[in-house]
Chain A
């Protein structure tokens, strides 16, 4: 049971999409949002679940929480069939939707937490302990009496994460937990999740667009595309498969020929446009020595680093191995 805490066997979700094609005519189309996914997650693991928009990430999360009923396959979380025993499962899971809050919009955070306390029948001592811990680690003390609608996105996200953890869930699902957050909020959220997983061995499954989330949090990453699992393994392996690269965008004082650096740095110019040049370097390498060298040898005005996006990694994965359709 502990090694199969979350089990999916050939899980499918098929939507019937009706599109208006004329005044009364409608076209019916079948969309296979999740097309036969199987995986196991042992208790205490932290897994990244990534893929481009519309790949089926959110649909999978919705089936794992019992919001959506699968069209086929077998699905168990902690031995419970989520769609059949939704409310029973709800006591054991925590869910954070990055795009919408589970808190009560017009009420102060404190009121939402108090309601969770009663609704989940959390024993007083556990509630106080969990809340104190979240307030401290997520820096919520000054936000408790602020109505949720007045919180910034980062503050609200921290408030949401706390709300999802008050009832000691065994598994935490996070759907895009760092979307739209500033750097400081992102770091705080990531640090908190790391600690939660280390101390409580809470199982964490998170979807994200930000590869840095995965890099800093997850040992294992699953990539989903067109409803199918296309990669399941370590992040390092994904970089290998996808040869993922970061891009350094450099603004020079004037137009110059493509920059050439000493060969010990694996970098190449991919694009030149007036005084601006794009340099690609391996995602696993540090940008610091590269930037130092550039600044020393070229008239720099400005620069920025772009992280590889999931879409690019997946595109490269396909390019590297066209036979890779499903694992």
Chain B
């Protein structure tokens, strides 16, 4: 009896419901992979649309590059008057700057769009993302994917390249591994801060300025050696917002310098751990924020 019912039901669905494919479209997929896939789809769409206006893309990217390049030009000008800043030479600072700028550029390119979340909450367009079958974070992060931000990454990589060519580093395999490790972990830490900042905007919709203080402000601090800043600030940066892992500690390791605050040598290898920890906190914050939004609607 029950079997017959099931069969009849299945048969009817094939005939009457042209949308029967839906079950297969959803069945047992991991949310993380779905999120990455959706992110890729949306990014691809924005890139296609950017490339439709190639000249405009080239010009905005060059503009982005030039605007960020002035940053480092300022530092170079400073070095026409002094030989060292806080005991660091220009190429050494270039290493700090290049690693940090590249890391920040990467996370800004991949996740920078999440800072528009506050506006979406205010004007109610977040609701339209919640009715789609993919994670909201992926949709927010991929929205208006701005390929022009490659300009900042290019600038960071150039400065980093300059540092590596001019510096006289006693390379070891570990130091070689350290370079990509610090850039990628740094990008991950910045990304986590972007996401946590966006999560905060669920509660206070004007919080993007606070977050900018951490991301844009953070990258500025990290472009200078730790010894020119007050000790308390250094401690805060290291422990409260672990952005120091973005470039200082690994860079000091590569340069063979002493660490600030008498930290032990192995801390230079912590960046991936710190990045993972930051992401755990950021995703917790994101879930909390989204849950709060779904219970208050504002």
Contact = CB atoms under 8 A, between A and B. Distances in A.
Specify the main secondary structure of chain A where it touches its partner: loop
B124 A99 contact: yes
Interface residues of A, number: 42
A107 B48 CA distance: 10
Contact of B297 (A62, A88, A115, A122): A62
A65 B130 CA distance: 8
Contacts of B31: 87
B294 A91 contact: no
A15 B133 CA distance: 26
A256 interface: no
A187 interface: no
Contacts of B48: 111
Interface in A81-112: 83, 86-88, 90-93, 95, 97, 99-102, 104, 106-107, 111
A104 B140 CA distance: 12
Interface stretch (B15-23, B105-113, B186-194): B15-23
Interface string B43-72: 001001100000000000000000000000
Given A67-B127, A90-B133, A118-B41, A168 B18 contact: yes
Interface residues of B, number: 33
Given A66-B130, A66-B131, A88 B26 contact: yes
A270 B92 CA distance: 87
Given A106-B144, A120-B25, A68 B133 contact: no
A119 interface: yes
Given A83-B294, A100-B124, A126 B131 contact: no
B257 interface: no
Given A83-B294, A106-B49, A119 B38 contact: yes
A100 B123 contact: yes
Nearest to B126: A67
Given A67-B127, A119-B132, A167 B45 contact: no
B22 A91 contact: yes
Contacts of B296: 15-16
Instruction: Select the residue from B17, B25, B133, B134 with max chain A CB neighbours within 10 A.
Output: B133
Interface string A5-31: 000000000011000000000000000
A15 B144 CA distance: 33
B123 A121 contact: no
Interface string A33-72: 0000000000000000000000000010010011111010
B277 to A, nearest CB: 27
A199 to B, nearest CB: 10
B25 A111 contact: no
Interface string B88-120: 000000000000000000000000000000000
Nearest to B40: A118
A87 B133 contact: yes
Given A69-B294, A107-B49, A168 B22 contact: yes
B128 A97 contact: yes
B45 A114 contact: yes
Contacts of A169: 19
B26 A91 contact: yes
A170 interface: yes
B255 interface: no
B15 to A, nearest CB: 13
B22 A167 contact: yes
A289 interface: no
Interface in B206-240: none
A316 B297 CA distance: 32
A90 B26 CA distance: 10
A281 B257 CA distance: 91
A90 B31 CA distance: 14
Contacts of B24: 121
Contacts of A111: 45, 48-49
A123 interface: yes
A224 B133 CA distance: 29
A43 to B, nearest CB: 10
Given A15-B296, A91-B25, A107 B124 contact: no
A100 B49 contact: no
B49 A119 contact: no
Contacts of B21: 121-123, 126, 168
B132 A97 contact: no
22 contacts: A62-B297, A67-B127, A67-B297, A68-B295, A68-B297, A69-B294, A87-B133, A88-B26, A90-B131, A91-B22, A91-B25, A91-B26, A92-B22, A99-B124, A100-B128, A114-B45, A115-B45, A119-B38, A121-B24, A121-B25, A167-B19, A170-B19
Interface of A: 15-16, 59, 62, 65-69, 71, 83, 86-88, 90-93, 95, 97, 99-102, 104, 106-107, 111, 114-115, 118-123, 126, 167-170, 200
